[in-house]
Structures are given as C-alpha cells and as structure tokens.
Structure 1
Amino acid sequence: MAWRSHISKNLKELRILLCQSSPGSSSARAFVENNYKDLKTLNPKLPILIRECSGTEPQLWARYDRGLERGVRLEGMSEAQISKALEELVKVGAALKA
C-alpha cells in the first residue's frame, strides 16, 4: 500500500462521485468511509473531493497535469476493486510524468 503515499505526487485532484442511498454506490460509500482519513493523512495537500448526488452513478476521477482527466465507473465493484482502480490511476499519473 506504499502507492497511497504517492498519490499527491502523481495526481492534481481526486474526485469520487456517488449517490447517498443507491445500492450501486454502497461500495463507493464504504470505500470513502474506510479510506478517506488514511488517504488525506498521507496526502494532506491533495484535493480529495467527494460529490454526492441522488441518482448519480459511482465514479472515480483523477486529474493530472495539464488538465488531463481519467475516470473509472465503480458500479458493481467491491472496495478492494475500487482501491485497485485508484492504484491504476496513480500509475497512469506516474507514467505521464516519466
């Protein structure tokens, strides 16, 4: 899990979109509840935006240098799969810097 401390080096912003009550967003809600504090502690200057809106499909968005963005749909994913998707977005950011 060492990659978690490198998020702010490879991303400019992290956004999580979800619905407050839909079953499709339950894993995304659990991910936020269980991981936000750790992510923010390891990356205090990284903007981590949680956007809740009724009926919204759960998504994870990463913004990189020069305004480039990548997104992942989270519906049907487990917490572990969401963590893996975030790790992949961090790797993309590292590749863009190379």
Structure 2
Amino acid sequence: MFGDMMGMMNKLKEAQKKVEETKERLNTVLLKESSNDEKLSVTITANRSIKSISVDDELLGDKEMLEDYLILTINKAIEKATKINEAELAAVAKEGMPNIPGMDMLK
C-alpha cells in the first residue's frame, strides 16, 4: 500500500511538471485575431498575453469606433486563446492523473 502511495505521489509530481512545461510552451503559441474588415488585428499567446495590436489609420480618427474595435477583437482573441489553453492543460492533467479509487468521475 505504501508503495502505491509513493507511486501516486511520483505520478502527481510528474503531472505537475508536465503542466508547468505546457504553460511555458503556451507562451510561444501565437494566435492572430482580426476584425471582420481587417482594420484591427491582435496577436496574443495561448496564455492570453497580448503581444501586438495593429490598427488601420482609418480607425485613428474615430475614438469611439477604435474603442469598439479593440473591445470586440481583443475579446475574440482572448476567447480563442482560452479555449486552446484550457484544452492543452486539461489534456496534460488528465494524462498525468494517477488512478485513485473513486476519482474516475473526472473522466
């Protein structure tokens, strides 16, 4: 029994290490999201860190329109990055979970 416990602890540590490695890798995954008319684009990492924003000169003359474009496009980029982030981390976590009796409800 004690050996089983040690094995589970080691598997949990390994899973935690893989989760951390995945988080680091997701910092390098870049996603680009653009407005429907391509006048504004946002580049974001899968960890939801904005790397760049590109704005068409036409938007610079209308503050309210620019703000609307920023809100819509950034929210779309964050939504896309969140889906990728959660899927990647869930896959790594599920793969590394030890077989603990009664915990099969996570599947």
TM-score (norm 2): 0.30
* Bigger radius of gyration among the two: 2
| Higher strand fraction (1 or 2) | 1
Structure with the bigger percentage of helix: 2
Query: Which structure is higher in RCO with an 8 Å CA cutoff and minimum separation 6?
Result: 1
Q: With the length of structure 1 as denominator, give the TM-score of the two structures.
A: 0.32
